[in-house]
Amino acid sequence: MKKRLKINGIIMGIAAIVVIVSPRVFFQNGGASNWAEYIQFLGFALILLGQIIRVSARGYKAEHSQDSQALIQGGPYQVVRNPMYLGIFLIGLGVVLAVFKWWVAGIFSLVFMIRYLTLIFQEEKKLRSFFPQSYPQYCQSVPRILPKITSLMKLDLGAYLPMKIIWFQKEIGSMITLFALLLLAKLWMGLRAGKIQLFLEQLLGLGLIFILSLIFIWILSKRTAKIK
């Protein structure tokens, strides 16, 4: 774990240095076109969706892994084998679309695939040794990171995206920190472009999306409780 965090920290540090050195190359220019606004709000929505998937996967795993002695195949793990990585990808992609120029999303996706596919392959090797019979069968029926649309349509939302308020409460601090940093970045971009009104409009839209996400989390928690 420490090695993984160290490598991730090095990658993020290098990326931060490159962006800081050439901000005009990577950051959005504060344009107010409809296309740019749609992309930015799509980014905000992906961040919230990624956070929900990540919270659901982490909380479900903590309650059902039996100290890593059981192979988890329920909850979000019944539609993808690596839901936490899917959540991280959506969060990262959302940040890129909300703050950076659209082409940066391609670079981010490539770096993410190279980094996290390596981790996934290493983890799969360990799981095959821990669960030599059940894990290969699990791999045959459940995709690695992108869910099948047919699977999502067959299952109840509360079944593959379970949620408990206590899970969400444990992650609320990191979520608030991320959105605070996003708002600071958007404020800086608005001031630089002399379009503070655009920032206020985006802040209002982001607040609305955040409120809707809280409502969605509450609905998920109620549906999860009913299924149980």
Residue at 17 is within a domain = no
The per-residue pLDDT for 9 is 65
Q: Are 42 and 52 in contact (CB under 8 A)?
A: no
Give the domain extent around 136: 32-227
Residue at 2 is within a domain = no
Residue 129's pLDDT band, with cuts at 50, 70 and 90, is very high
Residue at 154 is within a domain = yes
Long-range contacts of 150-157 (CB under 8 A, 24+ apart): 151/78, 151/79, 152/79, 155/78, 155/79, 156/223, 156/227, 157/220, 157/223
Residue at 204 is within a domain = yes
Residue at 56 is within a domain = yes
137: pLDDT strictly greater than 90: yes
24 vs 75 pLDDT, higher one: 75
Q: Are 80 and 143 in contact (CB under 8 A)?
A: yes
Q: Decide: helix, strand or coil at residue 27.
A: strand
* pLDDT tens profile 173-206: 888 888 788 777 777 776 766 667 767 777 777 7
Residue 93's pLDDT band, with cuts at 50, 70 and 90, is very high
Q: Model pTM?
A: 0.86
Q: Decide: helix, strand or coil at residue 67.
A: coil
Residue at 25 is within a domain = no
Our count of domains for the chain comes to 1
The per-residue pLDDT for 187 is 75
The per-residue pLDDT for 128 is 92
Residue at 128 is within a domain = yes
Q: What integer best gives the mean pLDDT of the chain?
A: 82
125 vs 66 pLDDT, higher one: 125
Residue at 218 is within a domain = yes
* pLDDT tens profile 2-40: 566 566 667 676 766 766 777 677 777 655 566 777 888
Q: Decide: helix, strand or coil at residue 100.
A: strand
